[in-house]
Structure 1
Amino acid sequence: MDVDVFVVAHEAQWQRLRVLAAQRRLTGGEADELVRLYRQTATHLSLLRSRAPEPGLIDELSVLLVKAKARIASPRNLSWPAVGAFFAQTIPAALYRVRWWSVVVAVACLLIAVVAGVWLVANPELLNSVVPPARQQEIAEEAFASYYSTYPSGSFASLVWTNNSFIAALCVATGITGIYPATVLFENSLSVGVMGAVMHVQNADEVFWTLILPHGLLELSCVFVAGAAGMRLFWAWLVPGARTRATSLAQEGRTTIVVVLAVTIALGVSGIVEGFVTGSQLNPWVKIALGVLAFAAFWVVTFVAGRRAVEAGVDPGLSEEEARNEVAVAA
């Protein structure tokens, strides 16, 4: 395909589509023309992608189609089936896309926490320099447990959810730096290790585990996934592969936004558990069982529902227009 000839042949149609997409009011005839030109331009974009890849022209037409699509579509087109599909397919697919990053981050963070805890227990002088003995005793006897019961359950759950969601969103938003997510993950892992060491030295292991496990399993999973998504975004910019950096960031960015929403929802569940279950008078094994159930549900959605969604062709990294063109080219 001769791209120059192709551009000359269709430039007038693209220009007309630009005008109509930017026009505030459309007559019935102009609305029909807008839809017709939108479909024709989508076909042109598909042809260019398959036969004569020109990154500059492809990006230009992609932006034009997004604007035209926004002009054609109406917020009233949002339907309950579409909302259901987003929660049942798009969210699991996004989590599935970052699954191995999440697993690697989780293993690394848990390793840091365990090594830090074991090292501090084996070196009491170092632990005492980090947390004074008097403070260790206070934490084990009162502070650690009272943290979960000082405030009203509803207020505490809301506070925890807001704080954790903000940190998760910040991990993703600053993921392009590659530094902040790694720093947050390291500091969080170190804190868990230090607290575990303090509680072990003070013979309060039972208190530690029965209070940390009910909400901590899901909460830490969310932190790991958020950090992994942020670092994956950095990797998409650093190593875009066959894509341009702009395209790579755009596609991975869309996936990451969905991951943020998924993590926010999961942190809401974790906040409810922390506010109403962790500090409650329920049997410790019941509390842990509820935490394990929430934790298992999160990872089942990630690996099982996510795999099914991806196998069905769901890709949260592609816009609707890009997804349709990908199918058209493959055919």
Structure 2
Amino acid sequence: MSATLGDVDLDAYVAEHEGEWRRLEQLSRGRRLSAAEADELVALYQRAATHLSVVRSRSPDPALVARLSRLVLTARAKVTGGSTFTWRDVGRFFTVGFPLAAYRAWPWWSGVAVAFSGLTAFIMWWVAGHPESAEAFVGEEAARELADSGFAAYYTEFTAPTFAFQLWTHNAWLAAQCLAAGILVVPTVWLLWVNALNIGAVGGVMIDHGRADVFFGLITPHGLLELTGVFVAAGVGLRIGWAWIAPPADLGRGRALGEAARSGMLVALGLVGVFAVSGLIEAFVTPAPLPTVFRIGVGALAWGAFLVYVLHFGSRAAAAGESTDVSP
């Protein structure tokens, strides 16, 4: 074979190896192979991989490259065996994958939590101390209606199961936006600002009208866990963006971004469960006719359990040298 595969040489190359490729295609199908066929499959797979490399480097024929690529991928899946669902994988996700990803990003989401809480508290203090600002935000009549009954009525407007599902999907979507927009940084910061402004303005209106007990008594039970989930999503999203802006010295920009993004996918999946729990608390516990201290206690217990879970399993996985990245 010459150093360059021309049209004539390419046709000859295909004719020479066509039989091997067809045989490899037959062996790569779903049927069970004998020991001899399995050995043949491995040998043909290795040859086809070499053929693909030669064609890629010496021929611009995209159709042949695509055909050999599909053949090699199919054969490799047959050789290595397809991935299957196991409960061990599920257990590893909950004891290593998700908590480790959240644990390693804790400086980011802790920073988001501090900044968000500080900004929300300032807005709340400002609106409560300047009634005219409340009118600018929601209007005088709307502010009075919100304080009298509107805020509390929000938690009983729908049946509990329907409300829980709505909250679950809404919060999961917000978290997904924070994670996906993290690479651009600014959209995630904007989403946090909008939510801080909303909570701060409503809280300020309630405090100004003497209903601080109602506001904090209703928002705290579910808000502790729910907002922590949002903080984790935003923090991990911003971490992904920072991996693109300032990658570690030992990693290229693409690799650093890829590792951070794959870790973010684990967090996104784990937060689905977190928001399911916070949604159940908001739908069933927050509006329940129970003492305020009991309702807040339930929320605080769920919040504390989540933090202990991430700290315990995350630190243990980090000490063991585990990774959140895709295994070789």
TM bin, normalised by shorter chain, reads 0.7 to 0.9
Is 1:187 the counterpart of 2:194? The answer is yes
Q: Which residue of 2 aligns with 1:119?
A: 126
Q: How far does the alpha carbon of each residue in 1:273-326 deviate from its partner, in whole angstroms, 9 at most, with x for none?
A: 01111111122111100000111111112222210111122211x2110xxxxx
Is 1:280 the counterpart of 2:288? The answer is yes
What is the identity, as a one-letter code, of the residue corresponding to 1:25?
Answer: R
Kept in 1, the 8 Å contact 2:27–2:37? The answer is no
Equivalent residue in structure 2 for 1:214, among 215, 221, 229: 221
Counterpart mapping for 1:196-215 below 5 A: 196-215=203-222
Please report how far the alpha carbon of residue 178 of structure 1 lies from its aligned counterpart in structure 2 after TM superposition: 1.1
Q: Which residue of 1 aligns with 2:59?
A: none
Structure-2 change in CA distance of 1:74 and 1:199 (3 Å): same
* Separation in 1, partners of 2:300, 2:238: 27
Counterpart mapping for 1:152-301 below 5 A: 152-241=159-248, 242-301=250-309
Higher Rg of the two aligned structures? 2
Kept in 2, the 8 Å contact 1:20–1:30? The answer is no
- Normalised to the residue count of structure 1, the TM-score between the two structures is 0.77
Counterpart mapping for 1:144-155 below 5 A: 144-155=151-162
Q: How far does the alpha carbon of each residue in 1:45-88 deviate from its partner, in whole angstroms, 9 at most, with x for none?
A: xxxxxxxxxxxxxxxxxxx99x9468623243x32222212111
Please report how far the alpha carbon of residue 121 of structure 1 lies from its aligned counterpart in structure 2 after TM superposition: 2.1
Equivalent residue in structure 2 for 1:25, among 29, 33, 49: 29
Q: How far does the alpha carbon of each residue in 1:235-276 deviate from its partner, in whole angstroms, 9 at most, with x for none?
A: 011111221122111111111000001111100000000111
* Separation in 1, partners of 2:180, 2:24: 35
Equivalent residue in structure 2 for 1:93, among 97, 100, 104: 100
Higher relative contact order (CA 8 A, sep 6+): 1
* Separation in 2, partners of 1:176, 1:21: 41
Kept in 1, the 8 Å contact 2:27–2:41? The answer is no
Structure-2 change in CA distance of 1:312 and 1:134 (3 Å): same
Tell me the secondary structure at the aligned position of residue 74 of structure 1: coil
- Normalised to the residue count of structure 2, the TM-score between the two structures is 0.78
Structure-2 change in CA distance of 1:35 and 1:225 (3 Å): farther
* Separation in 2, partners of 1:144, 1:315: 44
* Separation in 2, partners of 1:200, 1:247: 49
Please report how far the alpha carbon of residue 189 of structure 1 lies from its aligned counterpart in structure 2 after TM superposition: 1.0
Q: Which residue of 2 aligns with 1:305?
A: 313
Supply the RMSD in Å over aligned alpha carbons. Answer: 2.7
Unaligned runs of 5+ in 2: 1-19, 50-71
What is the identity, as a one-letter code, of the residue corresponding to 2:174?
Answer: I
Q: How far does the alpha carbon of each residue in 1:10-32 deviate from its partner, in whole angstroms, 9 at most, with x for none?
A: xxxxxx9xx97998438555645
Kept in 2, the 8 Å contact 1:21–1:68? The answer is no
Q: Which residue of 2 aligns with 1:110?
A: 117
Structure-2 change in CA distance of 1:32 and 1:162 (3 Å): farther
